[in-house]
């Protein structure tokens, strides 16, 4: 957060024989996320607004877009979704996303399944197997979780919102068609700084919650 980082990305097309792998993208660049917040932090100012920035890097065969966001005064939200009654609409693709109200265009994908041929995978108790479960949200902000389903031109979208807590858990109902679900968020604080003597503090970088 207090300066630029070095980004190295190597994307390859895999072949049966490793020696036949083809490099699709080879990038080594200096990258700085949300320059306005970095400037405030370097001048001892308190950053009060979250932000998102994107950069595109071109190589010979491809273009890589990197999007980075800083969530200020953040806490950790661990999300779970459980089907309590009914089934996901037959033939509908779907996606679950999470985002903060202040940076609503920066959506984190929790689960995506496609073109009506892939059913929602759930455990015996109906809990969905999310591909990602943890996001950051401002302690003074609002977490929103959206469920979208579509089949051709038919689309349905439902959203539920949560006010962050410093600890504990919150649950809200979410219904898509005849599929009734329960969304639960477990809240936990990030440390303001690493304890003295902790190996992770040797790089001098404070946690974003500060």
Q: What is the DSSP string of 75-91?
A: EEEEEEEEEEES-PPTT
Question: Within a domain: residue 92?
Answer: yes
Residue 46 pLDDT: 57
**Residue 94 sits in the same domain as residue 117:** yes
Residue 25 sits in the same domain as residue 90 = no
Residue 208: band (very low, low, confident or very high) from pLDDT cuts 50, 70, 90: very low
Asked whether residue 204 is assigned to any structural domain, the reply reads: no
58 and 141 co-located in one domain? no
Contact between 122 and 58 under an 8 Å Cβ cutoff? The reply is no
Residue 134, pLDDT score: 94
For the chain, state the CA radius of gyration: 20
Indicate whether 88 and 55 sit together in one domain.
Answer: no
Q: Does the structure show a pLDDT above 70 at 48? A: no
Is the distance from CB of 100 to CB of 71 less than 8 angstroms?
yes
Say if 203 falls within a structural domain.
no
Q: How far is CA 117 from the centre of its chain?
A: 25
Chain-centre distance for alpha carbon 109? 6
Please indicate, yes or no, whether residues 137 and 35 belong to a single structural domain of this protein: no
**Same domain (yes/no): 46, 117:** no
User: Same domain, yes or no, for 54 and 97?
Assistant: no
Provide the percentage of residues in the chain whose pLDDT is more than 90.
Answer: 31
Can you say whether the dihedral through the CA atoms of 136, 141, 143, 144 is positive or negative?
A: negative
Q: Which residue's structure tokens are 């943890």?
A: 134
Is residue 118 assigned to a domain?
A: yes
Check whether residue 107 and residue 162 sit in a common domain.
yes
Same domain, 29 and 79: no
pLDDT at 57 over 60: yes
- Domain extent, residue 175, equals 74-189
For 118-176, write each residue's pLDDT tens digit: 456 667 788 998 999 999 998 888 999 999 999 888 999 999 999 999 999 999 999 99
pLDDT for residue 122: 67
Out of 70, 92, 117, a domain closes at: 70
Tell whether 202 is covered by a domain: no
| Residue 196 within a domain | no
Same domain, yes or no: 107 and 177: yes
Do 138 and 43 lie in one domain? The reply is no
Helix then strand then coil, % of the chain, to nearest 5: 10, 50, 40
Quote the number of domains for the chain: 2
Is residue 24 within 8 Å of residue 12, measured between CB atoms? Answer: yes
CATH number at residue 83: 2.60.40.150
């Amino acid at each position: 957060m207090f300066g630029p980082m070095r980004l190295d990305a190597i994307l390859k097309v895999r072949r049966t024989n490793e020696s036949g792998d083809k490099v699709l993208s080879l990038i080594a660049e200096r990258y700085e996320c949300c320059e306005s917040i970095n400037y405030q932090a370097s001048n001892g100012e308190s950053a009060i607004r979250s932000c998102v920035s994107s950069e595109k890097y071109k190589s010979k065969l491809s273009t890589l877009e990197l999007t980075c966001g800083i969530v200020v005064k953040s806490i950790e939200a661990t999300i779970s979704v459980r089907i309590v009654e009914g089934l996901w609409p037959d033939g509908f693709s779907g996606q679950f996303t999470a985002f903060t109200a202040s940076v609503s265009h920066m959506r984190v994908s929790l689960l995506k399944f496609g073109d009506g041929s892939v059913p929602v995978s759930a455990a015996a108790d109906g809990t969905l197997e999310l591909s990602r479960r943890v996001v950051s949200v401002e302690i003074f902000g609002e977490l929103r979780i959206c469920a979208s389903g579509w089949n051709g031109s038919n689309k349905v979208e439902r959203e539920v919102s949560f006010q962050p807590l410093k600890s504990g858990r919150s649950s809200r109902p979410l219904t898509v068609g005849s599929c009734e679900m329960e969304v639960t968020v477990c809240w936990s604080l990030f440390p303001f700084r690493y304890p003295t003597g902790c190996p992770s503090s040797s790089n001098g970088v404070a946690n974003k919650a500060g």
